[in-house]
Structure 1
Amino acid sequence: KKGDTVSSLTVLATLITKQKIAEVSLNEVDVAKIKIGQKATLTFDAIPDLSITGEVTEIDTVGTVSQGVVSYTVKIAFDTQDERVKPGMSVSASIVTEAKTDVLLVPNTAIKSEGQINYVEMPAENDLALAKANPNGAILKNPLRRQTVEIGLANEEFTEIKSGLKEGDVVITRTIQPTTATQSQQQSAGLRIPGLNTGGIRR
């Protein structure tokens, strides 16, 4: 009551809120990219059809060391509540650290490198019409040409092309080398390209 004296660490009150918070552990490399206010998407092992957006609200300033690995706890507040989510459930978080609009993207499999140079392979001019007509694969008769590119952001599937390509260009995503048994036949027919992709703008 009023006038009472309490010692430190004494619990005076417990505040209960319906706001759900997800806690995820990140290593020191990943946590360096995280900032308060960044948006995230949460998924749950126990509720496979549920996806909830959220926002980073807190980042540990001091990491925890376990077996020589430093990790940091990041707290993410749910944007919406779902009664199926219970305390202690396993959660995975995809945090957007940077976003761009109107960028040119190509599949990661199309990007190759040699030293510090990044490049893509493209059909020769004489094979361009054939390649465009067969986006799922074609037998090209001429050597591929190399196009140097400047890359930007990337995720698990696509890489941003900052320069070197334009929308509509055809790039090679993978090639199949002829086997020994059919090498002479394949060489006369040309190189089979099973993966052709047209660079596009992702919005």
Structure 2
Amino acid sequence: TQASGVVSKVYIENGQNVKSGDKIAELDLDMVGKQRSSQALASYLSAKNNLENAKINYYALQSDLLTNWKSFMDLAQTSLYENSDKSPHTANRQLPEFMITNVDWLSAEAKYKQQANIVRQTQTSLNSAWGTYQQTSSTIYAPISGKVTGLSLQVGSVLTAQSNTSGTAASQKIASIQTDASPIIQVNLTQVDTPKVKIGNKVTITFDAFPGKSFSGKVISIDTIGTVSSGVTTYPAYIKLDTEVPEIFSNMTANANIITQIKDNILIVPLSSVQTTSGSSTVRVMKDNQVTSADVEVGESNDTQTEIVSGVSEGDIIITGQTNTTTGSTGTTTSPFGNTRGGFGGAGGLGGAAGGGQRR
């Protein structure tokens, strides 16, 4: 609201459901509030008068258009300008009489269309003026339907006039209205991940606020224009949860794992175990207590795992890292891949936040 004054009545409570247009509260406007409301009312009445005048001109031009159209059609259908088979007499239609009548009709049509645009513009101005008047009204109304949260008003509360840097009236928040729509989660994709992600991809989401819990959703939009910050380009993707979760609030931190591809019955190894040089990939394999290098062909990968298309077999022991055992000596960390065939997901680990796109 842009109104200012003392709250005289509050119609609703926190947690209560309201419909668009329901009364929230009443104010006894102070001097500034009354001045703003009077100015807004005057602007609204002026906009309403402008619309009425625009409609009067619109109807007059519509009548003029129909008159000129009839004159043109009556003339065009005479034997001088139309052949017996109803085809136009092209040569005679170059005569001044016909051309002037035709131009009069086309001019009337252009003026009519221009006035129709003016009517639409003045209607928009009227809607805007009405919205501003409601913002300054002593009665505060619910702008949308939903559940009221964070209501800060009580009888006797004082709302002071707010202004922006240009000195014009500014709105102040008195409550939020939460809709029934599922929250929208925004995540930022890297340049590498963006081409892989498609609208409709399934997503698993976790929230820092709910350890041990995960939620499902899907990608509903991708901003392919992107934004640049500190020389790094990211592309926002928007995810909608499959179900409504009342405990999720706007601006909660979320982590999303976007499934771009699913492969079944494949061989996978930890990403850290694959070494790639000049386009060739290898892994270190433990055989007969000896470490050997094996050339492999890799397939899809995510942040933690890589698909092995060929080069090693199920059950091979792969060296995944190196550990220090004593000063000056090292040991190897191995992992036996005796049961590595299963599902394989796509890109993941994309940080984001629960957005308020469906919450107000």
Q: Which letter maps to 1:113?
A: T
The 1:20–1:119 alpha-carbon spacing in structure 2 relative to 1, beyond 3 Å, is: same
The answer as to 2:342 corresponding to 1:202 is: yes
96-105 or 69-78, which deviates more: 69-78
Taking the aligned partners of 1:89 and 1:166, their CA distance within structure 2 comes to: 44
What SS is found at the alignment partner of 1:23?
Answer: strand
The 1:66–1:146 alpha-carbon spacing in structure 2 relative to 1, beyond 3 Å, is: closer
**Aligned residue in 2 for 1:34:** 197
Taking the aligned partners of 2:271 and 2:320, their CA distance within structure 1 comes to: 8
Larger radius of gyration: 2
Q: CA deviation at 1:25?
A: 2.4
Does the aligned pair in 2 maintain the 1:105–1:160 contact within 8 Å?
Answer: yes
Higher helix content, 1 or 2: 2
Taking the aligned partners of 1:29 and 1:110, their CA distance within structure 2 comes to: 21
Higher strand content, 1 or 2: 1
- TM-score by length of structure 2 reads 0.43
The 1:64–1:110 alpha-carbon spacing in structure 2 relative to 1, beyond 3 Å, is: closer
Q: Which letter maps to 1:22?
A: I
Q: Size of the alignment, in residue pairs?
A: 177
Taking the aligned partners of 1:68 and 1:51, their CA distance within structure 2 comes to: 33
Q: Which letter maps to 2:124?
A: S
**Aligned residue in 2 for 1:85:** 248
Q: Which letter maps to 1:7?
A: T
- TM-score by length of structure 1 reads 0.71
For structure 1, list consecutive stretches of 5 or more residues without a partner in the other structure. Answer: 128-139, 184-190
Q: CA deviation at 1:169?
A: 2.0
Identity of aligned residues (%): 34
**Aligned residue in 2 for 1:150:** 297
The 1:114–1:23 alpha-carbon spacing in structure 2 relative to 1, beyond 3 Å, is: closer
Q: CA deviation at 1:178?
A: 8.1
Q: Which letter maps to 1:172?
A: I
The 1:179–1:73 alpha-carbon spacing in structure 2 relative to 1, beyond 3 Å, is: closer
For structure 2, list consecutive stretches of 5 or more residues without a partner in the other structure. Answer: 1-54, 56-118, 132-142, 146-178, 344-360
Taking the aligned partners of 1:80 and 1:178, their CA distance within structure 2 comes to: 50
CA deviation profile, 1:47-67 (whole Å, cap 9, x unmatched): 223311100011124323334
**Aligned residue in 2 for 1:131:** none
The 1:57–1:118 alpha-carbon spacing in structure 2 relative to 1, beyond 3 Å, is: same
The answer as to 2:285 corresponding to 1:122 is: yes
Does the aligned pair in 2 maintain the 1:173–1:197 contact within 8 Å?
Answer: no
Q: CA deviation at 1:76?
A: 0.6
What SS is found at the alignment partner of 1:28?
Answer: coil
